[in-house]
Structure 1
Amino acid sequence: MRRIIKDENSEIVAQNLKYTEGNSNNNQTISKILFNEQKGFCAYTEEYIGRADAKDIEHFNPNLKGTENDNYSNWFLVKHQWNKEKSSKWDNFQPILYPTNENFNGRILYDNGDYRVADSNDIEACNLINLLKLDDIILADERKKYIRRKRDEISKYGLSETDFFEILIQDDLKQIAYLRAIQAEFNINIWEMIPNL
């Protein structure tokens, strides 16, 4: 997971959209805007959210849902499974590091396929890792396998890392996953390479 930067010019803000329980048209509009702003990637897993994937508007702080304080800065689009696993455990993991924190990437480090805290005394960062299961063994293993496959493919095809990922993006964006891992392992700014949707 990487720091998420919210767009101060978001259509959600410009249109003053509010999440409304049971209003599927309104909430679908919010979901589509978040999908576009996140370039189609789950905020937590950094896997592409395909058409067949169940997805949710995640209210990062679920205690804000349905209140006046629930707004764009609290909303992320995520794969349903990760939202479901988090929903009932919020109060057990406080205080917590917000995904938009400007020091996020320095407090939660990518380390050869795993995520770990930079400082073991950073309770907020530890709580975020535990709440979102950023250290989930299965997800970490998938991330590591993905990076190994991409290294092998780059070597096999004799392309530069940048050229290789540009081809993948142009061919089928669903072939891209684990954005922070790609950036760290291949030293490219994959986020900037992916066109806005």
Structure 2
Amino acid sequence: MRRIVKNPNSLVRKNELNYIEGNSNNNLKISKILYSEQKGFCAYTEEFIGRADAKDIEHFNPNLKNTPQDSYINWSLVKHQWNTEKSNKWDKYQPILLPTDSSFEDRIVYDNGDYRVSDSKDNEAFNLIKLIKLDDIILANQRKNYIKRKTSEIEKFGVSPEDFFQVLIDDDINQISYIRAIQEEFKINIWDMIPQPK
């Protein structure tokens, strides 16, 4: 997972949109803006959210939902499964590192397909890993297998990682997953290579 960077000029803020429970028309506007800002990727899994994927506006701190304090900073777009699996666990994993924290990628490090804390005494980072299941074995194995496959394909085609991933982006964005893993493993800034969805 990458640090979640919130846009100070987001259309959510400019249009003063508020999440309204049960108002699908209003919340769809927020969802579309978040989808565009996240370039179509789930904030937690970093898998592309396809048209058939169920997705949710995730309220990172669920205690803020439906309160005046709930806002754009607290919202991300995630795959429905990950939102569901996080629910009802907030109080169990406190204190917690915010995914928007500027030190996020220093405190939660990518390590050959896994995410771990850089400091074993960092309870906030450890709790975030547990809360949103960054240590999920199945997801970690999918991420490792994806990187292994892409490494093999790059070697087979004899092209640079930049050229290889640019072809995937241009051909079918669904072929891209695990943004931070790609950046760490292939030393490329794939995030900047991916266009903003229209």
Q: Distance in 1 between matches of 2:129 and 2:48?
A: 20
Shift of 1:95: 0.7
Moved over 2 A (4+): none
TM-score normalised per structure 2: 0.99
- Counterpart secondary structure, 2:27: helix
The match for 1:92 is 92
1:36-185 to 2 correspondences below 5 Å: 36-185=36-185
Query: In structure 2, what is the Cα distance between the partners aligned to 1:132 and 1:58?
Result: 11
Q: What's the offset of the Cα at 1:79?
A: 0.2
Deviations 1:5-59 (A, max 9, x none): 1000000000000000010000000000000000000000000000010000000
The equivalent of 1:32 in structure 2 is 32
Once residues 50 and 147 of structure 1 are traced to their aligned partners in structure 2, the CA distance between those partners, rounded to angstroms, is 20
- In structure 2, runs of 5+ residues without a counterpart are none
Give the SS at the match of 2:32: helix
Identity of aligned residues (%): 69
Q: Deviations over 1:165-190 (max 9, x none)?
A: 00000000010000000000000001
Gaps in structure 1 of 5+ consecutive residues: none
TM-score normalised by length of structure 1:
0.99
Determine helix, strand or coil for the equivalent of 1:70. coil
| DSSP-derived class of the 1:35 partner | helix
Across the aligned residues of Structure 1 and Structure 2, the Cα RMSD in angstroms comes to 0.4
Q: CA deviation at 1:163?
A: 0.2
What displacement does 1:135 show?
A: 0.5
